[in-house]
Structure 1
Amino acid sequence: MRDNTITIVLVCNDHFAILLATLIKSLTYNHSSEELLSIYIVNDKISLRTQTKIIDFFKDEHLDINWLSMSDVIDRNIDLPSDSSTFPSNVYVRLFIPMFLPKTIKKAIYLDVDMIVCTDISLLWNIDLGEYPVAAVRDRSQTVSSKWGGITNYKELGLAPETPYFNSGLLILNLDIWRSDNITSKIITSINSNIKYAKIPDQYGINIVLANKIMELDYKWNCYPHLAEKNPN
């Protein structure tokens, strides 16, 4: 049976709320198929006033907005990696999606809040992941050995230099596999064990734990504006 709900997870704080609204509008504007958009917004101190504005703005759209707090999605007892990077703790939310979404949900799309969607999101949703735990687009670094970005200690980790390196800004998650293989815990452990090398921590952990196990998506699904095609289809 075809699933008539598309599950999407977004994370935002009050400072980036305008981007959140823009992203959601791009989703609804371009969504022409019949599925309900079920959007889970992890609220990192978004004011009640801003939340109300967003709810009111989208009240007539074919979507369901679910608000979650940071404390709802990340257990305080979990030892989150901490270093001197500029990345806030909310970057780790994407790793916990399989844990905080209901177990009845088998699949989810994660999007960074600074994105806009230029085509029907159902085209992405309907990609069959098969036995892959996750799908993503290659980062502009392309491989783990790239001088810009990449994984600087890839040799010590036993990774071949040509191993693909993926961007974590857009993910399709196969939640059952992620849960059964305890992938979240493995990624957090890997980041903590290699913290001085984890320049983009969540992305680093995903790429080393799931090396050669990530389905590669077409570049059009996660690209910079100046490189985007006029017609994403």
Structure 2
Amino acid sequence: MEVKLSNNRINLHEIPIVSSIDKNYVSIYSAFLASAISHINTNRNYKFILLVDDVPDYMIFALQKQVMHLSNVSLDVINMNNVIIKSNSENIIDFPRAASFRLYTPKLFPQYEKIIYIDADVIVMHDLAELFDVVLDKYAAVVLDYVINGQINTKKYKTLFVNNYCNAETYYIKYCGLNQRLLNKYFNSGVMLLNLNRLRKENIMSRCLIMLQDKKFAYPDQDILNVLFNGEVLILPQEWNFIPCSRTDYHFSYEITKQRVHAISCLKVIHFAGNKPWEYHKNIQFEELFWLFARKSVYYEKLLENKNNKIYKYLWILKNNFLLKLIKIKFPSLYLIVKKMYKKIKA
């Protein structure tokens, strides 16, 4: 069933802000929504668009309550079960299926020349209209991925990517096919201004979907976008996608470190891409700002329940267990079963 919640008061000069979620991320999106509408310009019109994967209607209507009092804001919903092709689930078992929905945006929105795509696990600290107004002739306006930059520049850093690739630089160069120039421009796909006109013209997203079917990636949609955009991106300052990172063993490039220091004084979007304030994590940078806006959301109590639930503590330990990561490499079929059990318990 497709649920579409429109607002006839919105005119043609709206700012489309697209996100993808499943039912596990409804409460988190609610906090994002609260933060975004706290920084809107009353002279602009904002259309929030949710691409959803099996989200119950009552949850959608609860989100709608958050924007009903605003004459220049609307919330539309597209049920992606009616749109997506069947994907190779083994290639994206570490990520919700909704993470790949951004790859469908050029065809989903032929009426738009460009859109803002933004993950649900963010807090907005600035008017998103400023991002939308960026002049764009490249595929996208994006922010360099601070964490990946640290992994690539830390030669001793080891983790399990795919197919026994444990070194970040080796994984991205030999497996993904990125050269050094593209590594230096590796971006995070959680906050993007997408040039839909150019993406449609060059059929980029269809090629992304083919790659998603054919090959496993550590960060499926993000790695693929970095490969196919081929550096044709406009790099935005770090404040537009600031990812808190407490790792002291990473080595970062001088340029990105300088940007980070500046970004803290003028944060526009905080992206909790690693540790999550609503899960079993402690001392996360800027988590107070997340809870500031979570209190304004309709799912505040649900977020608190998740934070204080001991089951989530053990799920977090399981998720980050090295043995589980080893099973992922050596016994992928068993890993898939464990992941399904994890998702079922969490749901």
TM-score by length of 1: 0.86
Which 10-residue stretch deviates more, 22-31 or 45-54? 45-54
Give the alignment partner of residue 186 of structure 1, picking from 199, 203, 207: 207
Q: Residue 112 of structure 1: which of 92, 108, 119 is its match?
A: 119
The residue that corresponds to 2:130 in the other structure is 123
Deviations 1:113-165 (A, max 9, x none): 010110011111111112x0111111122399556656715246653224221
Superposition deviation, residue 28 in structure 1: 1.1
Does the CA-based 8 Å contact 1:150-1:165 persist in structure 2?
Answer: no
- 1:171-182 matched pairs, under 5 angstroms: 171-182=192-203
Of the candidates 56, 72, 78, which is equivalent to residue 68 of structure 1? 78
1:4 to 2:13 alignment: yes
Q: Of the candidates 83, 86, 92, which is equivalent to residue 94 of structure 2?
A: 86
1:33: Cα distance to partner? Answer: 4.8
* TM-score computed with the length of structure 2 as normaliser: 0.59
Instruction: Report which of the two has the higher share of strand.
Output: 1
Q: Return the structure number with greater helix share.
A: 2
Other-structure match for 2:186: 165
Choose the corresponding residue for 2:144, options 113, 133, 138: 138
Q: Cα 1:28–1:8, aligned 2, differ >3 Å: closer, same or farther?
A: same
Residues 1:181 and 1:57: Cα distance change in structure 2 (over 3 Å): same
Report the more deviating stretch, 158-167 or 113-122.
158-167
Counterpart check, 1:23 vs 2:29: no
Aligned residues of 1:73 and 1:93 also touching (Cα < 8 A) = no
Consecutive unaligned residues of structure 1, counting only runs of 5 or more, are none
Cα 1:4–1:159, aligned 2, differ >3 Å: closer, same or farther? same
Change (3 A) 1:17 1:157: closer
**Hey, what's the Cα distance between the residues in 1 that align with 2:176 and 2:73?**
43
The AA in structure 1 aligned to 2:31 is: T
Aligned residues: 225
CA apart distance, 1:188: 2.2
- Cα 1:151–1:9 change in 2 (3 A) is farther
**Corresponding letter in the other structure for 1:69:** N
Task: Give yes or no for contact 2:114–2:193 (8 Å, CA) kept in 1.
Answer: yes
The answer to whether the 8 Å contact 2:54/2:81 transfers is no
The answer to whether residue 264 in structure 2 is matched with residue 229 in structure 1 is yes
Q: Equivalents in 2 of 1:189, 1:143: separation in Å?
A: 29
1:97 pairs with 2:116: no
Partner secondary structure for residue 173 of structure 1: strand
- Say which one has the larger Rg: 2
Q: Secondary structure at the match of 1:7?
A: strand
Q: CA deviation at 1:231?
A: 3.2
Alpha-carbon distance in structure 2 between the residues aligned to 1:84 and 1:13: 15
Matches of 2:170 and 2:131, distance apart in 1: 27
Q: 1:211 to 1:57 in 2, by over 3 A?
A: same
Q: Distance in 2 between matches of 1:224 and 1:138?
A: 10
Q: CA RMSD in A?
A: 2.5
CA contact (8 A) 1:144 1:154 kept: no
Q: Percent identity?
A: 22
Q: Deviations for 1:179-199, whole angstroms, at most 9, x for unmatched residues?
A: 11111121122344442xx10
Q: Alignment partner of 1:109: what SS?
A: strand
CA distance in 1, matches of 2:195, 2:24: 30
Task: Quote the residue 2:171 is aligned against.
Answer: 152
